[in-house]
A and B are shown apart, each in its own frame.
Chain A
Amino acid sequence: MRRYLRLAIVLPLAMGSLSASALDLFEERLRIHGFASQAVVDTSDNQYFGDSTGTSFDFTELGLNASYRFTPRILLSSQVLVRRAGDMYDGTPSIDYALADITASSTSEARFGARLGRIKNPLGLYNETRDVPFTRPGIFLPQVIYYDKVRNLVLSSDGVMFFGETYGEAGTLSLNLGVGQPIIDDNAEWTYLGDDFEGRLEPRDPTWIANLWIASPTERLRAGLGVVASSLSYDAFESSFLESGSIGFINTILSLQYNDEQWTLSAEYSRMPLEWKEFGPVFPFSKQTTEGYYLQGAYRPRPNLELSLRYEEGFADRNDRDGSRSSALTGGLTPPFDFYSKIWTAGLRWDVKPNLMLRFEYQRHAGTFALSIRENPDPSDLVKHWDAFAASISVRF
């Protein structure tokens, strides 16, 4: 604990003492940026980003990226991410993205091109930059859309993404279309199979991503539609309780945002039909449609101060919103409230300087669907109504 405390204090200060601007090298063609963030989380019950009932410092984010512009049309870039998030992520560095961004054509009317490599999936308002604290709507993303317990399934993919934008008097229309191999980790197995079984979960087919955004000229109003389709196959070892099977899903996200000087209103809706096939008689689930939505209002009395309020609801199965049928499928082992989450969030953001941000957040939860099974392995320990307090300090350059 003490070690983490020291890390929490020293790291941001060390980064904060750096220049506020990026490192610019080779006539400013090579640009280097980074961020560091440390949060403290305390919950009344249940484990959320670490052992939070005893105050957790296990939520740390570090990112370092470099980009090199060869010509106005060709950019190479990569980011390394270190993320500690309770039992979900242990801080092993990972390549967040590594890509070539190629613009085929660019005028004041339109632009199109392609990106190749490991690409962040542009889904919803926040997925692409979900690990950058400065770009998030709070310390915690709206979990019912941007689950942290299984973030990697939609985080990024290795492949190609085509992009096109048109600019007119009426506004901007942009389209992304991509295909690639999703990056998955152990959390997918915990989330979709309920445990870390003897076997391997791997991508089965390529993941397809499409998204469309329309925005007024000053981005006062933005609306988006994103779809991602993917499937995973589970290769069971002989010792596994489960048989080899597959999981398929299609996630659709609708987004709407209004911006003016003092107000930002955001709403998103996600629906994801999910199908488990051939896992054998022991596995209880076959079909579910996960659903989530939220509404968030943010008010800025000053440009560097933001107050926000959010309400969100998420369901493991929209046809079983009180969780009773899903609970019955587990023989009552998992309580009904583990199949939904209803969350109120109140937050304060203070940008002390352009490169230093403080945040405070309070959440009131009903239900535990947003929690990671990996962090809360025993369903009988779960508590239905619980509170979370969090504070964070974030720096960037």
Chain B
Amino acid sequence: MKGLACFVFLLGLASAGAQELIVNRSAGVESLTRNEARLYLTMRLKHWPDGTEVRLFVLPDNDALHQHFVNAILGLYPYQLRRVWDRQIFTGTGQAPILVNSREEMLRRVASTPGGLGYTDGLVSNPAVHTIEVQ
């Protein structure tokens, strides 16, 4: 099982670039610390430094890119993120991220939404989208 997971992971690396956070250009953000990235993805931080509302887009919990991204960039597991979001959704203390069904839709929504935040594993050539460095 581990070998298979490793193989799939390597295949993922070979077929595309590393997973990266992407934001709508209007947010004016170039880089984030890992802690900040976690705060935005757990939806505890709901606005960018300039006050624009964060609009977070995610792929389904069982999507391979989602699982790789959550682990590689945030150091979390998908079930942990789900738990945090569910606590917010079902206690009325927060909202869930907006679900998209494909990488193309993710890119399109982040590009067209002010304050948009998402992730990708390929090169981004859309001028409305910035790739963010997570340190």
Contact = CB atoms under 8 A, between A and B. Distances in A.
Interface string B86-110: 1101111111101100000000000
Given A63-B90, A65-B92, A103-B46, A28 B98 contact: yes
B101 to A, nearest CB: 8
Interface stretch (A38-46, A74-82, A203-211, A334-342): A74-82
A65 B95 CA distance: 11
Contacts of A379: none
A20 interface: yes
A167 B41 CA distance: 14
Nearest to B93: A101
B79 interface: yes
Contacts of B44: 106, 111, 165, 167
A35 B51 CA distance: 33
B12 to A, nearest CB: 15
User: Is the contact region of chain A dominated by helix, strand, or loop, or is it mixed?
Assistant: strand
A392 to B, nearest CB: 17
Interface string A289-314: 00000000000110110000000000
A300 B51 CA distance: 40
Contacts of B54: 72
Interface stretch (A128-136, A144-152, A247-255, A273-281): A128-136
Interface in A75-111: 75, 77-79, 97-99, 101, 103, 106-108, 111
B39 A132 contact: no
A129 B96 contact: no
A97 B91 CA distance: 7
B25 interface: no
B80 interface: yes
Contacts, number: 117
Given A72-B47, A108-B45, A78 B53 contact: no
A108 B87 contact: no
Interface residues of B, number: 41
A217 B94 contact: no
Contacts of A77: 92-93
Interface string A187-227: 00000000000000000000000000000011100000000
Interface string A8-35: 0000000000001110100010010101
A259 interface: yes
Contact of A65 (B51, B78, B87, B89): B89
A103 B53 CA distance: 13
B62 A303 contact: yes
A128 B35 contact: no
Contacts of B94: 75, 101
B79 to A, nearest CB: 7
Contact of A97 (B78, B86, B92): B92
A301 B4 CA distance: 13
Contacts of B46: 72-73, 103, 106
A378 interface: no
B67 interface: yes
Given A24-B98, A28-B55, A169-B35, A354 B60 contact: yes
Contacts of B34: 217
B33 to A, nearest CB: 8
A65 B88 CA distance: 12
B86 A134 contact: yes
Contacts of A128: 87, 90-91
Interface string A116-131: 0001101000001100
Given A108-B36, A132-B86, A354-B60, A75 B93 contact: yes
A79 B92 contact: yes
Interface in B23-70: 33-36, 38-39, 44-47, 51, 53-55, 60-62, 67
A374 interface: no
A71 to B, nearest CB: 7
Contacts of A122: 91
Nearest to A69: B95
B86 A304 contact: no
12 contacts: A33-B90, A101-B92, A119-B91, A128-B90, A135-B86, A135-B87, A135-B90, A169-B35, A219-B84, A261-B71, A303-B61, A354-B62
Given A69-B95, A303-B61, 8 more contacts: A65-B92, A78-B92, A79-B90, A103-B46, A106-B47, A135-B87, A169-B35, A301-B1
Interface of A: 20-22, 24, 28, 31, 33, 35, 63, 65, 67, 69, 71-73, 75, 77-79, 97-99, 101, 103, 106-108, 111, 115, 119-120, 122, 128-129, 132, 134-135, 165, 167-169, 217-219, 259-261, 300-301, 303-304, 351, 353-354
Q: Which 5 pairs across A and B sit closest by C-beta, in order of nearness?
A: A77-B92, A21-B99, A72-B46, A72-B47, A354-B61
